[in-house]
């Protein structure tokens, strides 16, 4: 019996050691091969989005100066509540029309937003929120169809997620005369995109050159931008890809696994000499995020691969002030963030924002008009609000008295009003009694 238990114990120990060594070797191999240091030609991929991304603000200003426009500051309080919009305005030289710089950029740097839909409620929310700020917004789904949301289902039996991505790229490429594809961002439906920040990043770039932007990681020596954070392709990148994958057969042959379309995209682009570019800001803070801000900034455990496999290692702080994408899963949160981004304003100075809403009748005139109509009084300017209240109470002691007087010629209406009033009164008394009883 002792020998039997000893053998079982020995087998357990040997199995445990083998398992431990296997896991250790797997982690070591994964660290070595997935590390950016394993990428043989790292110098070619470590280019920045504007070749000198830390000076992107200066590059943008230089680019803007060459656009033959004038910039003027407008008081924020006045621009929002007093007259027109906000902060910085563009004055085209040919006329005096004032437009927001972000609106001017929208026309100057068009962005097509491609969203892969898994939940229709998220697609609906995107359409009502950040999707409005794209020049073109298209929804695609493998299995969903919705006419109201214009979700496009190509009706193809896909063998991999890469084939789905490839067929979508073929679809929009075939309509490039209708859809401006200068810059195209591909995201999942649980992603928030801030197109204004994306335009700020890519404005100085030439869309006829190959640019591949996103959050770059390295897997088995291959750098690519992860789908969770979204990725941006310039017109030239799409053009080169579509010369290779111009048929459904070629798309199907380009990848065979699901949920690896981002990896396959990076692989095919590498064969074309196109590499992920650095999209961190001057303080090494990321702009494309494959997780929620809550996880990245305040999570108890940060996602390890986001840092350990990142081609361009983020700094100590997580997120750039010019963040472009991050994840979110609930529609109410997406709507809340959209409100904060595009509508909420912090008061700094001014008087226009404190003005009350305009009303057709001034507040004092509301009860004075009631005195004229209800009590047949002609001289009401000298009557104060307190005196008005006393006059009212003398004629109508209780609300039901007023209702009875106003609707005495409408028995059905008065009965309905009285029933509702009595029901509300009884409900209120019951609730009060319940609260008192529970406190005891």
Model confidence, pTM: 0.71
In a domain, 351, yes or no: no
> What would the DSSP string read from start to end of 334-366?
HHHHHHHHHT-----S-SGGGPPPP-SS-HHHH
pLDDT 10s digits, 131-172: 999 999 999 999 888 888 999 999 999 999 999 999 999 999
Q: Is the pLDDT of residue 421 over 70?
A: no
Say if residue 79's pLDDT is above 80.
Answer: no
pLDDT higher than 70, residue 288: yes
- Through-space distance between the first and last CA atoms of the chain, rounded to whole angstroms: 67
Together in a domain, 326 and 416? no
Least Cα distance to 130 among 201, 197, 200, 193 occurs for: 193
Give the CATH number, domain containing residue 314: 3.90.550
* CA dihedral of residues 99, 101, 107, 113 (deg, nearest 10): -130
Q: Identify the pLDDT of residue 293.
A: 81
- Quickly list DSSP for 3-18: HHHHHHHHHHHHHHHH
Q: Is the pLDDT of residue 70 over 70?
A: yes
Same domain, 327 and 402: no
pLDDT band at 285 (very low <50, low <70, confident <90, very high): confident
- Using 50, 70 and 90 to split pLDDT, how confident is the model at 304? low
pLDDT cut 90: percent of the chain above it: 40
Above 60 in pLDDT, residue 245?
yes
Same domain flag for 307 and 222: yes
Beta strand segments in 154-309, E: 183-188, 191-193, 212-214, 216-219, 222-225, 231-234
Q: What is the mean pLDDT of the chain?
A: 77
The tokens for 165 are 């991505």
Within a domain: 167 = yes
Please tell me the total number of residues recorded for the chain in this structure.
Answer: 440
84 has a pLDDT exceeding 50: no
- What is the rounded distance in angstroms from the CA atom of residue 213 to the CA atom of residue 21? 38
Q: Are residues 11 and 62 in the same domain?
A: no
Give the range of the structural domain holding residue 144, as residue numbers without chain letter: 43-66+109-342
| 78 falls within a domain | no
Average pLDDT over residues 339-356: 77
CA distances from 245 to 224, 249, 268 (A): 19, 8, 10
Asked if 21 and 52 sit in the same domain, the reply is no
* Alpha carbons 190 and 117: distance in angstroms, whole number: 9
Domain count, the chain: 3
Exposure b/e, 202-218, CB count within 10 A at least 16 = b:
bbbbebeebbbbbbbbb
- pLDDT of 100 reads 79
Asked if 195 and 121 count as a contact pair (C-beta separation under 8 A), the reply is no
Place of tokens 């660290």: 31
How many Cβ atoms from other residues are within 10 Å of residue 407's Cβ? 16
Q: Is residue 113 part of a domain?
A: yes
């Amino acid at each position: 019996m002792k020998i039997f238990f000893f053998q079982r114990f020995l087998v357990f120990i040997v199995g445990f050691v083998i398992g431990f060594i296997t896991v250790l070797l797997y982690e070591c191999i994964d660290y070595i091969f997935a590390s950016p240091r394993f990428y043989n030609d790292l110098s070619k991929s470590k280019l920045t989005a504007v070749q000198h991304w830390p000076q992107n603000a200066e590059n943008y200003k230089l680019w803007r100066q060459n656009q033959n426009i004038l910039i003027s500051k407008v008081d924020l309080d006045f621009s929002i509540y007093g007259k027109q919009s906000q902060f910085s305005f563009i004055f085209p030289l040919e006329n005096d029309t004032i437009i927001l710089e972000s609106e001017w950029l929208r026309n100057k740097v068009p962005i097509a937003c491609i969203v892969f839909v898994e939940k229709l409620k998220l697609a609906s929310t995107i359409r009502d929120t950040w999707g409005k700020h794209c020049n073109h917004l298209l929804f695609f789904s493998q299995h969903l169809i919705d006419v109201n949301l214009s979700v496009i289902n190509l009706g193809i039996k896909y063998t991999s997620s890469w084939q789905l991505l490839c067929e979508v790229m073929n679809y929009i490429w075939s309509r490039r005369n209708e859809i401006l594809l200068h810059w195209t961002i591909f995201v999942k439906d649980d992603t928030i995109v801030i197109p204004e920040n994306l335009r700020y990043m890519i404005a100085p770039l030439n869309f006829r050159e190959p640019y591949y932007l996103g959050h770059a990681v390295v897997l088995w020596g291959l750098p690519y931008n992860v789908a969770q954070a979204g990725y941006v392709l310039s017109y030239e990148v799409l053009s080169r890809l579509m010369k290779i994958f111009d048929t459904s057969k070629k798309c199907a042959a380009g990848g065979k696994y699901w949920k690896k379309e981002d990896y396959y995209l990076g692989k095919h682009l590498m064969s074309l000499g196109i590499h992920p570019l650095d999209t961190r800001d001057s303080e090494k803070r990321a702009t494309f995020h494959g997780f929620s801000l809550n996880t990245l900034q305040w999570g108890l455990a940060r996602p390890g691969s986001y840092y350990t496999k990142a081609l361009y290692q983020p700094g100590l702080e997580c997120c750039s002030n010019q963040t472009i994408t991050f994840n979110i899963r609930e529609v109410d949160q997406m709507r809340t963030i959209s409100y904060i981004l595009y509508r909420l304003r912090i008061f700094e100075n001014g008087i226009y924002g404190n003005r009350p809403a305009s009303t057709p009748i001034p507040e004092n005139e509301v009860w004075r008009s009631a005195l004229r109509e209800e009590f047949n009084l002609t001289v009401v300017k000298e009557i104060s609000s307190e005196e008005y209240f006393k006059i009212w109470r003398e004629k109508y002691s209780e609300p039901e008295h007023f209702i009875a007087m106003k609707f005495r010629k409408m028995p059905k209406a008065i009965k309905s009003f009285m029933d509702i009033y009595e029901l509300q009164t009884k409900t209120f008394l019951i609730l009060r009694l319940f609260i008192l009883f529970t406190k005891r």
